[in-house]
Amino acid sequence: MDAKKTLIVPLSVLLFSGTVFSAPENKTDKAADTIIMTTWNRGPVMSAIELEIRQLDNNSVVEKTKKHSTVLALAPGNYMATAKMNNIVRNRTFSVIDHTPVNVVIAMDE
């Protein structure tokens, strides 16, 4: 098989699957890549959901999205991720330390 065709097929699958993460924006010298994902029944939430990430140190909203996951470059500090789906609301607090990647999973069915 041609090398170009081999690369195009998997890349097109990733692009159209909806699970590709974009590169974090506004990365500072001490920022850490943070992945925040909501789950339902041990898989990604595939229905309407609202996700808000707030920095607790200054009570400011960092990100609001209607996607089941997001990748951010967050400065060191304390944060809270709030997910809302139908009548279910879940919060997770987490801390970011210099350059240390953080994974936050919010299970909507617990």
- 57 occurs within a structural domain: yes
First to last CA, the chain: 46
Span 14-46, pLDDT tens digits: 333 444 444 444 455 788 899 999 999 989 998
SS (H, E, C) the chain: CCHHHHHHHHHHHHHHHCCCCCCCCCCCCCCEEEEEEEEECCEECCCCCEEEEEECCCCEEEEEECCCEEEEEECCEEEEEEEEECCEEEEEEEEECCCCCEEEEEECCC
- 102 occurs within a structural domain: yes
Instruction: Give phi and psi for 25, each to the nearest 5.
Output: -105, 165
* Residue-number span of the structural domain to which 63 is assigned: 28-107
Joined together, the tokens standing for residue 86 give 């139908």
Q: Is the pTM of this model over 0.75?
A: no
- 21 occurs within a structural domain: no
- 37 occurs within a structural domain: yes
Span 77-106, pLDDT tens digits: 999 999 999 999 999 999 999 888 999 999
- 17 occurs within a structural domain: no
pLDDT at residue 79, rounded to an integer: 97
CATH number at residue 81: 2.60.40.1120
- 99 occurs within a structural domain: yes
C-alpha 43/C-alpha 25 separation (Å) is 26
Count of domains in the chain? 1
- 86 occurs within a structural domain: yes
